Chains A and B, each alone.
Chain A
Amino acid sequence: AQSVTQPDIHITVSEGASLELRCNYSYGATPYLFWYVQSPGQGLQLLLKYFSGDTLVQGIKGFEAEFKRSQSSFNLRKPSVHWSDAAEYFCAVGAMDSNYQLIWGAGTKLIIKP
């Protein structure tokens, strides 16, 4: 069965520092990969997605993610975080034999230190 692992429950980063949030998946083929962000009291917003092609994808708000097939990973990065990036980040996977549903990671809460 497919699964998504976000190993870090929460991460604390100083404002202006770089960020990397980890996501690993378990699936036999290349899935569709997504990162969503949920700000406090808000719904989920799609940050970026990978379907095929270039393994480095750019998203909104200055985020990027890199798909590494050999590591079954899709880590999210940002070179310099802002206080407004404090939120919960969810990695999700879409696999063809999951009836087009998304499989969700547990989420990583990003805390920004001033």
Chain B
Amino acid sequence: SAVISQKPSRDICQRGTSLTIQCQVDSQVTMMFWYRQQPGQSLTLIATANQGSEATYESGFVIDKFPISRPNLTFSTLTVSNLSPEDSSIYLCSVEDRGYRAYEQYFGPGTRLTVT
């Protein structure tokens, strides 16, 4: 299975600033996903990021607030912009290699964001 790393592992940010989270995979993958996990909650998909195309955002998430880059098949970034305390969450990236293991996702360790 793919090994995924995320940076930073945690951060405390001021209201109104932005945080960029990096997701690095040890192999080339087709699909990358960004999730938000609010305290005590399940996972909510923010967007799907394919290399070479614009990210596809889920309802309730917009590019201005959550810009995503996917410059190659092993790397992606998620920026959380204009931070408010409501953005305090764990942000997770995951990957899926759309081969015979369709839908099987592997996750990074997450980035814990606290907004003050």
Contacts and interface: CB of A to CB of B under 8 A. Distances in A.
Interface of A: 32, 34, 36, 41-46, 49, 90, 94, 99-102, 104-107
Nearest to A49: B104
A90 B42 contact: yes
Interface residues on B, range: 20 to 34
A92 to B, nearest CB: 8
Interface of B: 1, 4, 31, 33, 41-43, 45, 48, 92, 94, 96, 98, 102-110, 112
A104 B48 contact: no
B105 to A, nearest CB: 6
Tell me if A's interface is mostly helix, strand, loop or mixed: strand
Contacts of A100: 31, 96, 98, 102-103
Contacts of B112: 41
10 closest residue pairs by CB, A with B: A94-B103, A43-B107, A44-B107, A43-B109, A32-B103, A106-B42, A104-B42, A104-B43, A43-B110, A107-B42
Nearest to A90: B42
Contacts of A34: 103-104
Nearest to B96: A100
Contacts of B103: 32, 34, 94, 100, 102
Nearest to B30: A100
B26 to A, nearest CB: 15
Contact of B107 (A45, A49, A106): A45
Contacts of B96: 100
Nearest to A94: B103
A98 to B, nearest CB: 9
B98 to A, nearest CB: 7
